[in-house]
Chain A
């Protein structure tokens, strides 16, 4: 079965830049998306279609893709950005969808 791989955790200080990556063999062929999830809450879409930002999401959130690696960048991290972040995409044939294991962002 297809998998997306994320590092379990990333730590940054407030004001720094956080980069969260997601790797998967099908990422060159399939669009991917990012979700933010805070404790006890449902996920929130922060990036879709690799690089697009939904309305209402702060400009400090951006996405990029290169080969089999997807990156979510949070510039000028704020304490409120502390959360779990999940990437999501499809297998190479686009027949089912999977999430990465999630990355816990800690803002020190």
Chain B
């Protein structure tokens, strides 16, 4: 059974870099056809796609966040990571890691989600 688990600091200071890691179990992140994704959700509000990295390492980011986001793979640990620079209070949200499926015949959708982790930006 595929499982994803986010980890990282729950508190980050303004202007610093938010770093989160997602540990994947029940499957390999190098399996073809999957796109390892980060999303976020303001408490009580809607979802926002941050970006993804493919099994081969190619990345794609939300244009609104692209200048601040880096997603990377660590195949030795079966993990992938998110870095978001220059954070502000507006980045205080729940962050989800997830497995995306992407194919021209189906579009892109998420079939497995982590439980989510709240990151607070505050001094």
- A residues within 8 Å of B by Cβ? 1, 30-33, 35, 41-45, 48-49, 54, 86, 88-90, 94-102
Contacts and interface: CB of A to CB of B under 8 A. Distances in A.
B22 to A, nearest CB: 12
A89 B107 contact: yes
A43 B107 contact: no
20 contacts: A1-B64, A30-B107, A32-B107, A33-B107, A33-B110, A42-B96, A42-B113, A42-B115, A44-B113, A45-B109, A45-B110, A48-B101, A48-B106, A48-B107, A48-B109, A54-B111, A96-B49, A97-B49, A98-B49, A99-B48
Nearest to B104: A94
Size category of the B interface is 20 to 34
Contacts of A43: 47, 110, 113
A101 B60 CA distance: 22
A101 to B, nearest CB: 5
Contacts of A31: 106-107, 109
A100 to B, nearest CB: 7
B107 A100 contact: no
Contacts of B62: 96-97
A44 B113 CA distance: 8
Given A1-B63, A35-B110, A96-B49, 11 more contacts: A33-B107, A35-B47, A43-B47, A48-B106, A49-B106, A49-B107, A49-B109, A89-B107, A95-B60, A97-B49, A99-B46
Contact of A86 (B46, B111, B113, B114): B46
A106 B113 CA distance: 24
A97 B102 CA distance: 11
